[in-house]
Structures are given as structure tokens and as C-alpha cells.
Amino acid sequence: MPTTAESTRDRSAVRSLLRLWPFVRPVRARLLTAAFVAIVASCVGLVIPLVLKWMVDGPVADRDPAGVWLGALYLLLLGLAEALLFGLRRWLVARPLSHVEAEMRAGLYRHLQRLPVAFHDRWASGQLLSRGTTDLMLLRMFLAFPLTFLLVNGVTIVVGVVIMLVQDWQLGLVVLGPALPVMVTCAVFEKKYSEVARLAQDQVGDLTTVVEESVLGIRIIKGFGRHRSQARAFRELARTLRGTELRKARLLAAIWAVIVTLPELAIGAALVVGAVQVADGQLSAGTLVAFLSTALALRWPVESIGFLLAMSQEAATATERYFEVMDAEVEEPGISGDPASVSRGGVRSPASRGASPTLGFARAGGPPSPTRAAPGGTSQAVQALGEARMPAAQPDGGLRFEGVRFRYPDAPPGSPPLLDRVDLHVRPGESMALVGATGSGKTTLTALVPRLHEVTSGRITLDGDDITAIPREELRALVAVAFEEPTLFSASVGDNVLMGAGDGAGTDELERALAVAQADFVHALPQGTATQVGEQGLSLSGGQRQRIALARAVVGRPRFLVLDDPLSALDVHTEAAVEAALRQVLADTTALIVAHRPSTVLLADRVALLSGGRIAAVGTHQELLRTNAEYAHLMSGHDEHAEHEEGDER
Ligand SMILES: Nc1ncnc2c1ncn2[C@@H]1O[C@H](COP(=O)(O)OP(=O)(O)OP(=O)(O)O)[C@@H](O)[C@H]1O
Ligand SMILES: [Mg+2]
């Protein structure tokens, strides 16, 4: 898990922060105005000592009460102006900066959606979560305070120092004495702090991962009574994080001590020297008052530099962490926009999906249930039309794997490829069962078809078109998938199913899909298809979730269907009913179905056996049972009932 990025380690904080420019650009006018307003406010503050000087040397020395009142009025007005200007600055930056944060967060989310599955395999979700939340908050705070105030305070310090030097250059030099040691301390601090800040932010990510996992896995944790060990693991991480935060605090305390103490000492020294000068008559009392007030007014700008630098450093780290994700390469969209690809034999654009007349339940007339409708009859014309469009006659039609090799990018080096020269041809309209021992790579093979992973070598074609030549969006509209783990989202049942269809799909499609998947239980839910399923659909049973996932796979009437053991959680009766309905769909769909049970295998026209990374045998269930010992062994281990059913089918 790439929690620390060595490559970015040596990058300076400024370089990292400069990468924020594209996001800050749209609001630059506001930010600059705000900084300007803050500088003016700060300089207004610096005028106050000069008024004091005028008061002490003028009205106070002359014992003129009216002059003192006037001076007091000036001071009040200056104070008010300073306060109003700082308020204006705050108002100027608040809205644009929340906009920047929102934009960056939206950008991150968009990017995460487009990153390949391999990226998500590698990255812990907590790390991504913390980058999208804590880190972006740090960035907004940086843009609101340190960015402006490092500038404002810098200008204030320079102006203040000039004022002091003009008042009395000797006293000015005394006050400037600590400048060098303070700067050296800041430089050392920045380097050390950047390391600790990075560590702390990564540890927040790890902690988030633990929290997320234990919330998602709460059933397992409780079921195995692991809450104590889980809490211990959490405490350990929290303690580590606390240690890191304490290191940060110690560093801050150290720089704070230096930054506060040295200038105070210098001001004390200036006070002594100044008092001696006033006593000797070399300096007016008013000048000393003005000088010391200016020095005191500069105390805050100087002292704040410590934590402003700390915040900037954290922001630089947050930027690095943000761009580590943003720099990860997304799946290229393919060759979308190529008109030839749309008109290519049978390949439909996503917009036209659902309009194909070639599918089992896309029949003319009414909303017939696919469980009842028989092919042929009224649909012959439609069928003929479909066949005209379907490249059934092409020898290379259907789904074809040619010399496909695949190894996971993060597999141990030197290990053999998981899939080694897989050759398989699923003919148009044919359904092929894929059987293999557990861990043989069936799920992996199915994930290659919608390009969730990229083949290492070899190629996969759909109706003769290399999948890498089909725009991804189009490819994923062509191929529908249902995986072993039926993933549902926090949305209504209907929305979960319709995710599998184009934008135009409505109730009819939904009902048909639910019927195919035998998901009638949906209608018995409190609000029918509008019932919200909880996070990950955990309020439904495993079999119910599987059927919704299956409905999602078939609702878009895909040309190609890839099902990864879609019926494993169903009781035999439901499985039989789903199979009957599915067979109607599969009549026209080219399908690859991973199967563990003979009953599922019987859905398919032929079976392929995946063994040792290759397709070891292809044939009908009966043929393979007779001729292939491995296949017979794999199939014989399954439940008796399925075997009986299989007998009935014969
Ligand atoms: N993201 C991944 N990174 C590295 N290796 C992986 C990854 N996913 C799976 N594997 C490995 O690939 C092998 C095949 O996994 P796969 O899920 O394809 O098997 P399967 O045939 O579907 O098994 P099952 O019948 O249990 O579902 C396994 O040994 C697994 O450890
Ligand atoms: Mg699997």
C-alpha cells in the first residue's frame, strides 16, 4: 500500500503547493483582493504607534486635554478600520475557498471512479477517504490563513522594521538581532515538521481504514467475538497516531519557544537602551513609545510564523497525498467518437441499448413475461431482423479469447501467470459454462471481458472486434456482469436494478428483469421496488441480493452476459425457476457463466474446463463427464439434489 511516496519526499513544500494553482486560479482575484485588504488592515495597525508618538510628544507633553481626546478619537477610528478590514477579508475568502474545496473533492471522486480496478485493489479505502476529507480540509485552511497571512505578516514585518529603523536605527538593529537565529530555526523546523506531518496524515488514513473495515465487518467481528482484539488494534493505531501528533506538538513548542523568547529579549534590550537614550536626552519619549509600540505590534506577526509554517507544511503534505491519487493513471476511454465503431456489425452504442430486437425478452407486443414467452411465432420477423444485424454468420462472431495471458500486476515477481494462453470461443447466442477448481482464475477471466483488468497478452474479441478497440463505455454497455459478491448500493431496489440499463429504461424493463431473476419478493417489500436497501444491501438475504444483482445484469438486454456463479446462494427450487427464465434470455445472448454446481452448468450449451491457467477441455456436460476425469471429479463433489435434478433434465 503506497502510503508514503518516496518519490515526492524530496519535493519542496512550495513546489507541492504550486500544484494547487489550477484549482485556485478561478478565485485568484478574490484571494488577491483579500490579501490586499489584509495588508492594508495590518498597516493601519502600524499607524497606531505613530499616533501615540504624536500624542506623547505633542498634547501629553503640552498638557493639552483637547489634543489627547483628538488622539484618542484617531486611535479609535484606526482600530475600527483595522477590525472592519479584517472582517471584509474573511468575508471575501469564505465562499470562494469552500468552492475550491468542493471542486477538489469532486475532482477526486470523479478520478476515483475512473481509476482501474487494479488501483483500487492496491489502495486501502481509508487512505482514499482521509485524502478526500481531512487532507482537503487542511488545504482549505491553508488557502484561508497561512497563504494570506504569510504574505500579510511578511509585509507587515518589513514595513514595521522600516518604521522602527526610521525612528531610531540603533534601537532598530537591537530589535533585529534575533532575526537570523529565528530564520535558521524556522528552516530546521520546516524540514523536521514535514516528515512528521506526512507520517501523521498517513496514520490517519490507516486509522480510517481500520474503522471502515470494522464497521463493514461488524457481523464477523461480533460473530467471532473479535471486538476486543479489534478494539486493541484500533487502540494501537490510535496510540501511534497520538505519538506522532505529540511529536508535532513538541516541534511546534520548540519553534514557538524560540520565536517568542528571542524577540521578547530583543524588545527588553531595546527598552533598556532606549530608556538610557531618553535619559541622556538623545531620544524623545514619544519616539521610544512609538518604537516600542511598533515592536510590540510586530510580535504577533512574528510569533504566528511558527504555526503558519506548520499549517503550510501540512497543506503541502496534503497536496502530495491528494495528487498521489490524482496522478494515478485512469482507464483511457478507448476510442470513443470513432463512428465506425458504432456501426460495426452488431456493436451498439450505449444510446441504442435496449432497442436491440435480438434478445430473448425484447419481443414485440405487450410486456410478456420472459418466463412464459416462447421464441418464434410473432417474433419471427423481429428475429429475422435481429439475425440480419447479428453477425451470427461470422466465423469469429461471439466472444472469443485468443491466447489470453494474465497475471495480476501485484502478483509476486517470478510467479507464473494466472491465466496462460486461454483459447476459448463462445459462439454467438451460445451460453458457455466455465468450470474450474476454486482459485483457478474463473472470476479473473470473467473480469477481463468488461476490461476491469487488462490482459497481459493475447486478445479478447466480441463479434470479431478486439475489446481494446471498443470504447470502454460502449464495451460495458455491451457486456453485462453479475459477480459472486452481489454488490448493492444505498438506493431503492428499482434503482439498483436499473443501474444495469440505459437512461431510457423504465418500469417495464424493471419488471421483466425482476421476473427473469425470480425476484418477485421485491413486490412484497414495504414499498415494493421503491424500498431502500441499506448500505451494501445488508437488509436483504444473500439469495435476495443475488437475484437483484442478476436482474441488474439482464435488465439492459445485453448482447453479452458474464455471470460469475450467479445462483450459488439460491435454494434449488428458486434456482430451477431462475434457470428456466434465464434460458429464455440466454437463447439469444452470448453468455459466459461461471458455475460450480451441475445444475448451473446445465443452463449452458457447452462447458469449458479451466485448469492450470488454460482451457483444458470444451464440450457438453455429458461429454466432459465421460471423457474428463478432472471435470467428473469437480462435478461429483456437489450436492446430491443437484445431481438428481440433473438426472431429471436428461
Ligand atoms: N486482485 C488480485 N491481486 C492478486 N491476486 C489475485 C487478485 N484477485 C485474485 N487473485 C488470485 O488469483 C487467483 C484466482 O482467483 P479467482 O478469483 O479468479 O479464482 P476463482 O476461480 O474465481 O475461484 P472461486 O471458484 O473460489 O471463485 C487466486 O489465487 C487469487 O489469490
Ligand atoms: Mg470466483
Which atom of ligand 1 is found nearest the CA of 436?
21
Domain boundary among 280, 296, 326: 326
Kindly give the distance from the C-alpha atom of residue 444 to the centroid of ligand 1, in angstroms, as a whole number: 6
> Percentage of residues in the chain with pLDDT exceeding 70?
86
Alpha-carbon distance of 114 to 134, in angstroms, equals 22
Same domain for 283 and 159: yes
- Global pTM reads 0.74
Is 519 inside any structural domain?
A: no
Residues with CB under 6 A from ligand 1: 121, 408, 410-411, 418, 436, 438-444, 484
Q: In which band, very low, low, confident or very high, does the pLDDT at 394 lie, cut at 50, 70 and 90?
A: low
What does pLDDT average to over the chain?
Answer: 81
Residue 47 CB coordination number (10 Å): 16
pLDDT of 648 higher than 70: no
Kindly give the distance from the C-alpha atom of residue 441 to the centroid of ligand 1, in angstroms, as a whole number: 5
**pLDDT score at 182:** 87
Kindly give the distance from the C-alpha atom of residue 483 to the centroid of ligand 2, in angstroms, as a whole number: 8
Ligand nearest to the CA of 445: 1
Domain boundary among 303, 326, 349: 326
Q: Supply the CATH number for residue 408's domain.
A: 3.40.50.300
**pLDDT score at 525:** 87
Strand partners, 615: 610
**pLDDT score at 333:** 66
Ligand nearest to the CA of 119: 1
Same domain for 205 and 279: yes
Which atom of ligand 1 is found nearest the CA of 441?
18
pLDDT of 382 higher than 90: no
Same domain for 397 and 301: no
Same domain for 403 and 313: no
**pLDDT score at 247:** 94
Is 5 inside any structural domain?
A: no
Alpha helices per DSSP H over 115-217 = 117-122, 125-130, 136-144, 146-167, 169-176, 179-216
Domain boundary among 281, 307, 326: 326
Mean predicted confidence (pLDDT) in 439-444? 91
CA angle, 599 then 603 then 608, to 5°: 90
Is 153 inside any structural domain?
A: yes
Kindly give the distance from the C-alpha atom of residue 580 to the centroid of ligand 1, in angstroms, as a whole number: 30
**pLDDT score at 338:** 38
Is 346 inside any structural domain?
A: no
**pLDDT score at 48:** 86
Same domain for 183 and 41: yes
Pocket residue to mutate for ligand 1, from 121, 443, 593, 610, most atoms within 8 A of Cβ: 443
Same domain for 575 and 473: yes
Residue 309 CB coordination number (10 Å): 22
Higher pLDDT, 53 or 638: 53
Residue 58 CB coordination number (10 Å): 15
pLDDT of 432 higher than 70: yes
Kindly give the distance from the C-alpha atom of residue 408 to the centroid of ligand 1, in angstroms, as a whole number: 9
pLDDT of 385 higher than 60: no
Which atom of ligand 1 is found nearest the CA of 438?
25
Same domain for 257 and 401: no
Least confident of 10-14, 160-164, 338-342, 427-431: 338-342
> Percentage of residues in the chain with pLDDT exceeding 90?
21
**pLDDT score at 381:** 32
Least confident of 216-230, 385-399, 606-620: 385-399
**pLDDT score at 4:** 42
Kindly give the distance from the C-alpha atom of residue 446 to the centroid of ligand 2, in angstroms, as a whole number: 9
Is 265 inside any structural domain?
A: yes
Pick the closest to residue 171 from 52, 61, 259, 294 (CA basis): 294
pLDDT of 88 higher than 70: yes
Higher pLDDT, 245 or 541: 245
Interval 451-489: pLDDT, tens: 988 899 999 999 888 999 988 888 888 898 888 788 888
**pLDDT score at 248:** 92
pLDDT of 502 higher than 70: yes
Which atom of ligand 1 is found nearest the CA of 117?
1
Alpha-carbon distance of 506 to 17, in angstroms, equals 48
Nearest CA to ligand 1 atom 22: 443
Is 518 inside any structural domain?
A: no
Highest mean pLDDT among 67-71, 446-450, 600-604: 446-450
Give the range of the structural domain holding residue 35, as residue numbers without chain letter.
25-326
Mean predicted confidence (pLDDT) in 265-279? 90
Nearest CA to ligand 1 atom 9: 444
Nearest CA to ligand 1 atom 2: 408
pLDDT of 240 higher than 80: yes
**pLDDT score at 584:** 79
Mean predicted confidence (pLDDT) in 500-506? 79
Mean predicted confidence (pLDDT) in 182-199? 88
Mean predicted confidence (pLDDT) in 34-54? 87
Kindly give the distance from the C-alpha atom of residue 444 to the centroid of ligand 2, in angstroms, as a whole number: 7
CB 590 within 8 Å of CB 401 = no
Cα separation values, 192 from 59, 247, 250, 251, 317, Å: 52, 10, 11, 8, 13
CB 469 within 8 Å of CB 332 = no
Ligand nearest to the CA of 123: 1
Mean predicted confidence (pLDDT) in 409-421? 86
Pocket residue to mutate for ligand 1, from 120, 408, 415, most atoms within 8 A of Cβ: 408
Same domain for 177 and 289: yes
Kindly give the distance from the C-alpha atom of residue 443 to the centroid of ligand 1, in angstroms, as a whole number: 7
Interval 131-162: pLDDT, tens: 998 899 999 899 888 888 888 888 988 998 89
Q: Supply the CATH number for residue 86's domain.
A: 1.20.1560.10
Same domain for 613 and 473: yes
Is 11 inside any structural domain?
A: no
Ligand nearest to the CA of 447: 1
What total number of domains does the chain contain? 2
Least confident of 299-303, 305-309, 477-481, 583-587: 583-587
Which atom of ligand 1 is found nearest the CA of 118?
1
pLDDT of 324 higher than 60: yes
Kindly give the distance from the C-alpha atom of residue 447 to the centroid of ligand 1, in angstroms, as a whole number: 11
State the virtual CA torsion across 489, 493, 494, 498 in degrees, nearest 10: 40
Pocket residue to mutate for ligand 1, from 121, 123, 442, most atoms within 8 A of Cβ: 442
Name the DSSP class of 500.
T
Same domain for 426 and 571: yes
**pLDDT score at 436:** 92
Same domain for 396 and 309: no
Same domain for 96 and 185: yes
Is 362 inside any structural domain?
A: no
**pLDDT score at 213:** 86
**pLDDT score at 615:** 92
